[in-house]
Amino acid sequence: MQYSTIPFSLVEHDQAFILDIDALYAHAATLTDGRKPRGVRYPLPLLITVALLAKLAGFVHMEDLADWAKLRRHELQFFFGTARASMPHHTTWSRVLGSAIDVEELNTLVQRLFAPPVVGELPERCSIQVTMDGKTLRGTIPRGATRGVHLLAAYLPAEGIVLFQVEVEGKHNEIVAAPKLLKRLDLRGSLVSGDAMFTQRQLSIQIVEAGGDYLWMVKDNQPTLRAEIEELFEEEYVSAGWSAPPVDFTTARSVNKGHGRIEERILTTSSLLAEYSDWPYLAQVFKLEYRTWCCVSGKSTQEIRYGVTSAPVTVLSAEELLHATRQHWRMETGLHGRRDVCFLEDASRTRNGQAPHVLATLNNLALSLLGRLGITNVAQAQRALNYHIDRALHSLTA
């Protein structure tokens, strides 16, 4: 390569960032190429790296990606030192990404790049929050069908990094895929959070016995557990001359204003249920009251949610539990929302083999790279990278 890094900065941003292309190429070179050696014109690490550069520059669809590379074929030849000044047609891109790449290897590559290193002492208990949630690639849903490619990911909301991603088989749901996903992660010191679907006994046992803790929301899929929590937090009726039984309730409250509304969250937690509930490794339960007021119409809404965790109050206080529940929903905005808005994932109609999963993993890789750099405005970063990548490529031929 002529240059191993591309420096760039954002508009009205004093900080400079470095995109290490040489390191990305070297990691991509560790992937197994499923094609037969005879007739291969474009090395797999070249295609992976070019596809990632195009996505970082805002060219996210297969046809756009192919056109971006073809228009810059001479500059890319200088940059990567290839033998010929050409780039493949978009059908070749689709075929290679659909059949030549082992998706599990690619996800392992992302994990190797971004998983928190464990050096020396083990991380403190609940010091790393890992959120789990699934997403259907809507563009892969065939006409007349109701289901397409569905992916379940593990995400670090504080860092904006995807740790691993697995595909949910057509006849199964996320509950079946979740144990496979968790087996790929080092859960020591982690707090694994998920919505009510993941409130399952075996999943809770798997997490705690792997050295982590769970944080689940509880709904009607666990009616006994929900009823116990509701009864615990019900207001106690006390007859005259009697005193209320002792409780250990602690409360945390937060108020935020934004997007034309005021949001109030009140979380009340208790450890009393752990004394008699048979839920595995239960330490605390909580009640979360969520209220919103619209600043324009004045309309208000109220919702009550319940949850459980294996982390005791000495590890997670009410304030920390409230923060963790808010962090969990950052996966919707920080990962799934960005993949839809900035990478137009649901609008993609690519369905060839493993290509949808590969493209989604490249989206995760791009977002994790930006998250590692501390960049939160992905659209602004794509516009800046489009300019700086072109500037770096054109400087070679100048």
DSSP string, 75-134: HHHHHHT-SSS----HHHHHHHHHHTB-HHHHHHHHHHHHSPP--SSPPPTT-EEEEEEE
Band (pLDDT 50/70/90 cuts) for residue 2 is: low
Domain that holds residue 391: 5-101+352-397
Q: What is the pLDDT of residues 92-118, one digit of tens each?
A: 999 999 999 999 999 999 998 888 776
Q: What pTM was estimated for this model as a whole?
A: 0.90
Do residues 127 and 159 both lie within one domain? yes
The answer as to whether 146 is a domain residue is yes
Same domain, 42 and 153: no
Residues 29, 87 within the same domain? yes
Output 97-100 pairs: Cβ under 8 A, ≥24 positions apart. Answer: 97/47, 97/51, 97/62, 97/352, 97/353, 97/354, 97/355, 97/358, 97/359, 98/350, 98/352, 98/353, 98/354, 98/355, 98/358, 99/34, 99/35, 99/352, 99/353, 99/354, 100/33, 100/34, 100/35, 100/44
Cα distances (angstroms) measured from residue 372 to each of 17, 77, 157, 292: 11, 29, 12, 33
Residues 188 and 284 in one domain: yes
**Are residues 315 and 392 both part of a single domain?**
no
| 322 lies in the same domain as 372 | no
Residue 63 dihedral angles phi and psi, to the nearest 5°: -65, -40
Same domain, yes or no, for 191 and 275?
yes
Q: What is the largest CA-CA distance in the chain?
A: 92
Q: Are residues 290 and 204 part of one domain?
A: yes
Same domain (yes/no): 117, 97: no
Residue 370 domain-assigned?
Answer: yes
One domain for residues 146 and 175: yes
In DSSP terms, 258 is beta-bridged to 261
Asked whether residue 108 is assigned to any structural domain, the reply reads no
Question: Domains in the chain: how many in total?
Answer: 2
pLDDT of residue 396: 72
Are the C-beta atoms of 215 and 324 separated by less than 8 Å?
Answer: yes
pLDDT at 198 over 90: yes
Same domain? 44 vs 149: no
Contacts of 73 (CB under 8 A, 6+ apart): 85, 86, 87
Q: Are residues 199 and 315 in the same domain?
A: yes
Residues 335-376 have pLDDT tens digits of 999 999 999 999 988 888 999 999 999 999 999 999 988 888
Averaged pLDDT for residues 198-224: 95
Task: Return the pLDDT at 244.
Answer: 61
